[in-house]
Structure 1
Amino acid sequence: MAVLGCAQEYRAVIHWRGGSLPFTSPGVSALTAVSWNRTLSDTSEASITIAKGSAGAECCAQLGKVEPFAHDLSIYRDSELVWQGPVFRVTENRTRFVVEARDVTEWLARTVNTTLLRYVSTNPADPKRQGPVQEIAESIIRENLLGGLFASGPDWPRMVDYIVRQDDTVTARYEKDGSLDNEIWIVPILRILDEELVPRGLEYTTVGRALVLGRPQTTADPAQARLTLDAFAGDVEIVRDGTNAASLVWVTNQEDQDISGSQYGVSGVVSAYYGRLDYLIRTTAEGLTAYDLWQIARGSYTGRNPVPTSLRIPDGAGLAATAPVSMRQLVPGVRIDVAATGMCMGLSQPYRLSDVDVDWGDNGENVGVSLIPLGDPFVGDPP
Structure 2
Amino acid sequence: MPTLGCGSHSARIVDRDGATITDAHVLTRVEWTRVLDDTSSATVTIRPDGGCCRLLDRVRTWRHNLQIYRNDDFVWEGPIILPDWSGDEVSIQAVDVLGWLDRRVPHESIHFTRRDLTEIAAWLIEDGFTPDDPGHDVQIIGRSRILGDREYVKDIEQTGDHLRRLAETGIDYTAVGRRILILPEDHCERVGRLTDADFPDGLTVSEDGTAIGTRWIVEGRDGVMGIDGGKDAYYGLLEQYVEESSILDEPSALAAARSRRRGSLPAPVFISSQEATLSPEASIDLASLVPGWCVDVTSTRTCRTISQSMKINGVKVTEDASGETVAVHLAPAGV
- More displaced 10-residue stretch of structure 1: 227-236 or 239-248: 239-248
2:39 corresponding residue in structure 1? 43
1:186 corresponding residue in structure 2? 156
Is it true that 1:11 corresponds to 2:36 in the alignment? no
Counterpart-to-counterpart distance in 2, 1:71 and 1:366: 27
Q: Identify the match of residue 225 of structure 1 among 178, 187, 192.
A: 192
Q: Identify the match of residue 127 of structure 2 among 116, 138, 143.
A: 143
Counterpart-to-counterpart distance in 2, 1:322 and 1:23: 36
Q: What does 1:1-383 align with in structure 2 at a 5 Å threshold?
A: 1-7=1-7, 9-17=8-16, 20-27=18-25, 30-52=26-48, 55-56=49-50, 58-120=51-113, 130-146=114-130, 151=131, 153=132, 155=133, 157-159=134-136, 162-176=137-151, 183-184=153-154, 186-195=156-165, 197-217=166-186, 221-252=188-219, 262-268=223-229, 271-272=232-233, 274=234, 276-283=236-243, 285=245, 288-314=248-274, 318-376=277-335
User: Contact 2:118–2:140 at 8 Å: present in 1 too?
Assistant: yes
CA deviation vs aligned residue, 1:76-111 (integer Å, no higher than 9, x gap)? 001111110001111111111111111111110011
More strand by share: 2
User: Contact 1:217–1:352 at 8 Å: present in 2 too?
Assistant: no
Q: 1:214 to 1:262 in 2, by over 3 A?
A: same
Counterpart-to-counterpart distance in 1, 2:78 and 2:246: 34
TM-score (norm 1): 0.81
Amino acid corresponding to residue 154 of structure 2 in structure 1: I
Q: 1:138 to 1:270 in 2, by over 3 A?
A: same
Q: 1:167 to 1:132 in 2, by over 3 A?
A: farther
Q: 1:91 to 1:104 in 2, by over 3 A?
A: same
CA deviation vs aligned residue, 1:205-238 (integer Å, no higher than 9, x gap)? 11122111122235xx332111001101202122
Q: 1:171 to 1:252 in 2, by over 3 A?
A: closer
Query: 2:123 is paired with a residue of what secondary structure?
Result: helix
User: Contact 2:220–2:247 at 8 Å: present in 1 too?
Assistant: no
Q: 1:45 to 1:244 in 2, by over 3 A?
A: same
1:381 corresponding residue in structure 2? none
Query: 2:147 is paired with a residue of what secondary structure?
Result: coil
User: Contact 1:235–1:313 at 8 Å: present in 2 too?
Assistant: no
Give the superposition deviation at 1:287: 7.0
Amino acid corresponding to residue 288 of structure 2 in structure 1: Q
User: Contact 2:220–2:244 at 8 Å: present in 1 too?
Assistant: yes
Give the superposition deviation at 1:165: 1.3
Aligned residues: 335
Query: 1:212 is paired with a residue of what secondary structure?
Result: strand
TM-score (norm 2): 0.91
Identity level (%): 29
User: Contact 1:248–1:276 at 8 Å: present in 2 too?
Assistant: no
Counterpart-to-counterpart distance in 2, 1:4 and 1:284: 40
Structure 1 residue runs of 4 or more that deviate by more than 6 Å after TM superposition: none
Supply the RMSD in Å over aligned alpha carbons: 2.3
Q: Which runs of 5+ in 1 are unaligned?
A: 121-129, 178-182, 255-260, 377-383
Counterpart-to-counterpart distance in 1, 2:282 and 2:65: 31
Give the superposition deviation at 1:344: 3.6
User: Contact 1:4–1:321 at 8 Å: present in 2 too?
Assistant: yes
Query: 1:138 is paired with a residue of what secondary structure?
Result: helix
Counterpart-to-counterpart distance in 1, 2:295 and 2:88: 42
Query: 1:303 is paired with a residue of what secondary structure?
Result: helix
Q: 1:314 to 1:37 in 2, by over 3 A?
A: closer
Counterpart-to-counterpart distance in 1, 2:219 and 2:186: 25
Give the superposition deviation at 1:286: 6.9
Q: 1:4 to 1:269 in 2, by over 3 A?
A: farther
Amino acid corresponding to residue 280 of structure 2 in structure 1: A
Rg: which structure is higher? 1
Amino acid corresponding to residue 10 of structure 1 in structure 2: H
Counterpart-to-counterpart distance in 2, 1:217 and 1:77: 30
Q: 1:286 to 1:10 in 2, by over 3 A?
A: closer
Q: 1:242 to 1:21 in 2, by over 3 A?
A: same
User: Contact 2:11–2:66 at 8 Å: present in 1 too?
Assistant: yes
